[in-house]
Amino acid sequence: MYIVTGGAGFIGSNLVHELNRHGIADILIVDNLADSRKLVNLHGARFVDYMDKREFRRALAAKALGIPRVEAIFHQGACSNTLVDDGVYMMDNNFTCSKEILGYAIEQGAPLIYASTAAVYGLSGPGHFTPTLENERPLNIYGFSKLAFDHHVRQRIAEGSLPITVVGLRYFNVYGPREAHKGRMASVVHHFSKQIVDTGKVELFEASGGYGNGEQRRDFVFVRDLAQLNLYYAQAGPWAPQVGEKRRTWQAVVNAGSGRSSSFNEVARALMQVHGNARIEYIPFPSDLSARYQHFTEADLTGLRETGCDLPMTSLEEGVRETFVQTEPMLV
């Protein structure tokens, strides 16, 4: 069985659908459905079991999960709202829970692929997005909680105390289908698309952070690329070992982005290729984001490529087209 925590969320649900695409349905989804809007993300998905995340953690603590064989754990569950300031909740949810799941993965001898984040880099500028200590300066408790688990994993790797594959994927600015439930935390790709469709215009930020009108730059990564990276390191689906082939072991914390930054103006133009022309308006930068906002991100993929992973990354234009042309509107 494959376990997907956060399996009803944005990235987790896309991962479930990607597993299904490769004929895998023996999946346990772990999530919190207090926000029932996430249910739509699992329309058409095939899985065999579901557990509330609190029930899951209790079962782990009691060693009562009762799964005979775990093929891999995809740990996507987290509080990803960067505006949450409750450090006690964030550390328990994102750090302590992750350590519990790591312990279970070791007990089961199952690969653990987990979601980290580019938020650990804080206000880093161009050339400072390699996963090294001097670049890691999170702006909020969300980024810190993720960095704390990255530190834990890297220490275990250095000690040689991890007998399994453990890979942390530092997701950059993810976009794609099934993110509508995220509200304000959805990608700018999602927000810009909605504005164009609803109003015929798109609002971009005026000059800020040393960048001109709409020229703030992000590494926008298509969610299906991240789902495939998860399967790659878990050696699932098309990357499963052949008969007689030894399973590989990876242990790393690496960036997971496209490797190329794009401006908000470029995002707007890519969306217009799908939705038609729209008017661009530049609006003042929100004051409540001034100390929390990454004006530039761009993943250094050197570490990812050094693991032997050569999966191509989808271009912004192609990802936007696949999201909004081939996906039902309710899932966007």
Q: Which residues are catalytic?
A: 142, 182
Q: Find residue 203's DSSP bridge partners.
A: 281
Do the beta carbons of residue 3 and residue 108 sit within 8 Å? no
Instruction: Note the residue count of the chain.
Output: 332
Do the beta carbons of residue 92 and residue 145 sit within 8 Å? no
Encoding tokens for residue 7? 């399996």
Place of tokens 């998860």: 230
Do the beta carbons of residue 180 and residue 327 sit within 8 Å? no
Number of H helices, E strands in the chain: 10, 13
Rg (C-alpha) for the chain, rounded Å, is 19
Instruction: Provide the 10 A C-beta neighbour count for residue 200.
Output: 12
